[in-house]
Structure 1
Amino acid sequence: MNYILGTAQFGLDYGISNNSGKVKKEDLVKLLLFAKESGFKYLDTANAYGDSENRIGEMYEITKDFDLITKTAHIDPDKNYKKNLEYIKKQFFESLKKMKRESVETLLVHNSIDISIQNGEKIYQYLEELKKMA
């Protein structure tokens, strides 16, 4: 079994029981080192998680040994699907740049409705192309 550390609190005041807000830098360093020493293999992040991707990139010397999981940007079902494809690509490559990576282990569709809307199959096909690019 693999252990995955979620990173929403790296970049946002996230969580129903979160009283302390976004994780402070010194606590984040300790948390990442603990996760690394404890056998966590993955960091699960998303562009939608505030500045979590930036923080992962800023701490590259610690995070470089983790495989990354990120998510597609939320798309607008009212927009032309080609614009949505461009947006997904733009956000994905911006995420890679922020995290100082050339690729990620896994790309999740953040909102499942994104592939069930009209032209959802084209979005899926595009994700297959994106997979070859990164």
Structure 2
Amino acid sequence: MPYGLNMSQASHKMQKDDAIKLLHYALDRGINFFDTARLYGESETIMGEAFAGMRQDVILTSKCKHFRLPDGSLPAASDLKKIMTDSLHESLRELRTDCIDVYMLHYGDLEILELEEVYELFSIFQQEGLIRYPGVSVYEPEETKKALDKDFWKVIQLPFNLMDQKQGEHFHQASAQGVGLVVRSVLMRGLLTDKSFQLHPALKDVQAHLHTYRKLYTDDSQTLASLAMKFAASIPEVSSVLVGFDKVEFVQEALSIFNGDYLNANDLKMAKSMSYPDQSFLNLAQWDKNGWL
């Protein structure tokens, strides 16, 4: 499905055969960790077909459906269990597997992270061999803190990038507890690239801040995207960095960037000091609602 800035009018979607070829291309070149979800369009179905017969070569992460009701409330315990159980079995069927390596709550907010039914059900899924490790996808640092304090989740997926580093305050605790951190939004939907965006006037300070990262470039061919990806990969507590691609060239570019040669200690320290001054303002979902994107 389309993903990025200015996607309200986007209609482009990869053809299934092209997507499968691209997945095979990535796998053949050593990329073995793939992230999907029940709510990501046809992604699970396509991955299931692409990796049929080679399941042992890939690590799959998927996420259950959201289960908040339209009015924002949570369903009764019995309904909640049915939603989660049905969602898992749908994922298993579409992915053509009998076990998902990392199975996640798709956005565990503070209230959801307190639901005992969730922990009971994930424990059952694990005991039955349907999932290997329980994980949770979060947005806010306080959700990460709550997830870590529960000492149950083995993987946490969270947003983290050059601009928005507020989640970093909990990385040490995650590492100490042996919790894997999977970082998303490393390019902020394409904002942290060298594409020419003329942002809404309300975002003029954001646009100005993007230009300050040029002082971190190590050579004339450096790009903001490569800097952003190398920055995320330079954080020792980060287990995996999620990037999307719909062209072979993007896979090739990612492989050239994630080559083990990342920011040195001084450059990493400087990059950490250059996060956006008002971290709470960095809310792309709210910017969308405001009509700024």
Alignment of 1:75 with 2:75, yes or no, is no
**Residue aligning to 1:8:** none
**Residue aligning to 1:87:** 83
Aligned length: 122
State the Cα deviation string for residues 76-111 of structure 1 (Å, max 9, x = none): 243102211111011101110111100011011111
- Bigger Cα displacement from structure 2, 28-37 vs 54-63: 54-63
**Residue aligning to 1:130:** 125
- Matched to 1:58, the amino acid is E
Contact 1:33 1:62 in 2 (8 A): no
Which ranges of structure 2 fall in alignment gaps of 5 or more residues? 131-293
- Bigger Cα displacement from structure 2, 57-66 vs 31-40: 57-66
Q: Tell me the percent identity.
A: 25
Q: Distance in 2 between matches of 1:131 and 1:61?
A: 23
Contact 1:72 1:107 in 2 (8 A): yes
- Higher-RCO chain (CA-CA 8 Å, sequence separation at least 6): 1
Q: Distance in 2 between matches of 1:84 and 1:21?
A: 34
SS of residue paired to 1:112:
coil
TM-score of the superposed pair, with normalisation by structure 2 = 0.38
TM-score of the superposed pair, with normalisation by structure 1 = 0.77
The 1:55/1:29 distance shift into structure 2, 3 A limit, reads: closer
**Residue aligning to 2:101:** 105
State the Cα deviation string for residues 35-92 of structure 1 (Å, max 9, x = none): 1122111111100001111111222347633121001211124310221111101110
User: Quick one: which of 28, 38, 54 aligns to 2:19?
Assistant: 28
- Matched to 2:124, the amino acid is E
Q: Distance in 1 between matches of 2:30 and 2:6?
A: 26
Question: C-alpha root-mean-square deviation of aligned residues, in Å?
Answer: 2.3
Contact 2:44 2:94 in 1 (8 A): yes
- Matched to 1:72, the amino acid is C
